[in-house]
Structure formats: structure tokens, C-alpha cells
Amino acid sequence: MIIDFHNHYYPPEYIEAVRSGPSNVKISFDSENNPVLHSPGDKNIAVPGHRDITYRTKVLDETGIAKQVLTFTAPGTLMEDPDNSAFLSRKVNDALAKIATERSERFTALATLPLNDPMASAAEFERVTSELGFKGVMLFGNANGVALADQRFWPLYERASEAGAVMYIHPTFPLGVEAMMQYWLMPLVGFVFDTTLAAAHLVFSGVVERFPGIKWVLAHLGGTIPYLAERLDRGYDAFSDCRSEISRPPSEYLKEFYYDTVNFDVNALNLAIAFAGIDHLLAGSDYPHQIGSLKKMVDSIGALDLSDEDSARILGGNAAGLLGL
């Protein structure tokens, strides 16, 4: 059974709420009347697969994907004023919960949070896990420049740890985005370093050690974490402040994270397997973004020199275990 852990959905209710305003997200329309959502250094064309769940179901039928874990996508509600961010997050989560309930054979979901309001985020986490049945949330890699490791988010992490929740880190526009405005450098380069920075900071700050019940997942094969983990360990050995909040080298925590396979290079996938192990990789497509591909997700995993059993774990078994499917 193939489970696509990394893909994105814009509920029509959200698009209409942003279009009608108030909202700080600009929406235009392309030549095919698809909504285009603009954010610093990026724009997302909301093609039918982004916003039409019936259309999406047909695509899954055609490509042999059994199930998807629906998530919202950048810039989320972070560009909004805090009150509107909380309002739109609730609207998105209600829509995702409805799909996960009515089409449970094909879809589950992770909730979004209004991270620019930490108290509202903690309240929304409680609502989505207690009332709507979500197993976890997707966090953006920073909250308008505030690091995820910041203590303002610790009440959220305390509750998430108690619940054994999944926390999936997906990038958004990072600090220094002004240097990434050409050639799609923000999503191509900025995204992977946003994830890398968030994960490293969470580990060095002691958040991961302090809240051990959280199941952390990193998008895009962890950004550059598998490649740079050795360097982080050298920092732990060399600098006392890199040891002040943690009791083990950073790689030991990072090997406990999960990594989606949205890097379709076989050599990169092999590096991630060598780093974190077969049991910590989750198939992901980034569908239906322009840069995503359901076919490349399946083909790249199929190109690995793995047993059928190990391939099946990456294609769906690990995600099923993580989310209790």
C-alpha cells in the first residue's frame, strides 16, 4: 500500500476566504483561471489537484496511490494578522477533518497552526487533537523569523509530547529571502535550509530532548540534515554552548527523526537510509506542486537496491505505523 506523506491541499473555503478578504496574501489568476497565491520569493499555482478533492481522488486511482496525508502549504496563515491567522487555521483544519472523515479510505491529514500566535496555536492543537481526531500537525520552519525552538512555543510542545503527536516540519520563506528572489531560489535553496536550520536549532536548544514524546518529521529528505549531521557533531565536540542544553551528540537525536522522500535522487535517498535507517523514511511526492511528482516518488524508491519488504516500509508501512493507520 503506497501512502504519500508529503503533498498539499488548499481547501476551497480557504481560497475563497483569502480572495474575499481581509488577507495579506495576494491572489491572482493564471490564463487557465487557477488561483495563484503569492508570498515572498514564491508563488503557488492552485491547480485542480490542489483544491478539488474529487479530481485528486481520480489522480490517485490512476497512479496507484492508496492514501495521502493531506497538509496545507506555505505560506500558510503566517502572513496574516494573528486573529485572522487563527480564524483561517480553524477553517483549514475543519475542511481537512471533513475530508479525512468522509473519505477516510483515501485521505488522512495533519493540521495547521497559527504560529504567529503561540497561545492560539496551543489552543488549536488541543482542539484538532481532542475534537477533530488529528494525530499531529505540520509546523512551518519558522514563524515570521521566530525560531521554532523559541520558548514561546514550549507550552505547545509540552502538550504535543504528552499526546505523542506527530510534528512535521515543512519550510516556508526564511530570513534573508531578499537574496532569493530570482530563479526560484527561495523554494529551491531557501526551503531546504529553512528546514535544516529549524531541525538543528530544535536539537541544540534541548527542545527535542525536553519533549521526548513528539515524533518529528522533516520535509524534503531533511533539507541538508543527513549531509551535514557530521558537522553538527563536530560543533558539539568543539563548542561548549553546543553541549549546554543536550546530553548526546546532535546526530543521535536527528537519527530518531523521520524523513520524507521528496528528493528523488537515488544517491540522496541512500544517504538518508544510511543516516536514519529504512524505518525512518516516508514516501512523499510534493503533489501537486509544479516541482512535485507522484511518478518520481514511486520510481525513485523503486530504483533503490532494497528488498520488497524494505521498499514496502518506505512506500507506506512506516507512515501507517507512525500515524496508526
Domains in the chain, CATH or no CATH each: 3-323 (3.20.20.140)
Whether the bond into 75 is cis, omega within 30 of 0: yes
- Return the closest-CA partner of residue 40 out of 146, 181, 188: 181
DSSP, res 314: I
Write the CA distances from 219 to 9, 63, 225, 262, 284, integer angstroms: 16, 22, 11, 7, 9
pLDDT tens digits, 181-192: 999 899 899 999
Residue 51 identity: R
CA distance readout (Å), 5 to 86, 198, 229: 25, 20, 23
Instruction: Look at residue 75 in the predicted model and tell me its pLDDT.
Output: 85
pLDDT of residue 221: 98
Which CA distances in Å does 66 have to 63, 103, 284?
A: 9, 12, 13
The tens digit of pLDDT for each residue in 205-215 reads 999 999 999 99
Mean pLDDT, consecutive 10-residue stretches, the chain (325 aa), reads 97 96 93 94 94 98 98 93 97 98 98 97 98 98 96 98 98 89 91 96 98 98 98 98 97 98 98 98 98 98 98 98 97
Give the model's pLDDT for residue 130.
97
List all residues 6 or more positions away from 69 whose beta carbon is below 8 Å from its beta carbon: 3, 4, 5, 6, 7, 107, 108, 109, 110, 319, 323
- The predicted pLDDT at position 10 comes to 97
Q: Where are the beta strands (DSSP E) in 9-116?
A: 26-29, 35-39, 42-45, 67-71, 107-109, 111-112
Residue 242: half-sphere exposure toward Cβ, Cα within 13 Å: 13
pTM of the model: 0.96
pLDDT of 3 = 98
Amino acid letter at 225? I
Note the pLDDT of residue 161.
98
